[in-house]
Amino acid sequence: MAEVIAFPQRVETKTLHFDEKHAFGEIGGLMLSLVQEQGHPEGPVTLVLLGGVDGFLPLESFEPTPEGFEAAQAAGEMALRVLAVGHTNWAE
């Protein structure tokens, strides 16, 4: 009996453009930012980590409301502190 080998199909690559809403800072070559897709004010505000192996790593999304933006800023500040502690411990 012959075996059927299924090869993965090519996935379409789509380029997304983002507006940076807030830059939290850079730690050890990694940058933490709050972004929203251009032209989509109703879309989520996303906390992303830029740099490293993946280049672009979405961490968490928040509602595009004043409350969501406030929560995103608080999460970003905490994440930046965690990155700083991790980087300090790793660099020692």
Answer yes or no: is 45 within a domain. Answer: yes
CB atoms within 10 A of CB 44: 17
What's the DSSP call for residue 88? H
Model pLDDT, residue 47? 94
Answer yes or no: is 34 within a domain. Answer: yes
Answer yes or no: is 12 within a domain. Answer: no
Structure tokens given for 42: 């109703």
Q: What is the pLDDT of residues 36-92, one digit of tens each?
A: 999 999 999 999 998 877 788 899 999 999 999 999 999 999 999 988 887 666 655
| Cα–Cα distance measured from residue 7 to residue 46, given in angstroms and rounded to the nearest whole number | 33
Answer yes or no: is 78 within a domain. Answer: yes
Answer yes or no: is 51 within a domain. Answer: yes
Answer yes or no: is 5 within a domain. Answer: no
**21 or 3: which carries more pLDDT confidence?**
21
The label of the residue with tokens 């989520």 reads: 44
Q: Which residues, in sequence order, are CB contacts of 34 under 8 Å at separation 6+?
A: 20, 21, 22, 23, 24, 45, 46, 47, 48, 69, 72, 73, 76
Answer yes or no: is 1 within a domain. Answer: no
If one counts the domains in the chain, the total is 1
Model pLDDT, residue 89? 66
Domain extent, residue 83, equals 20-91
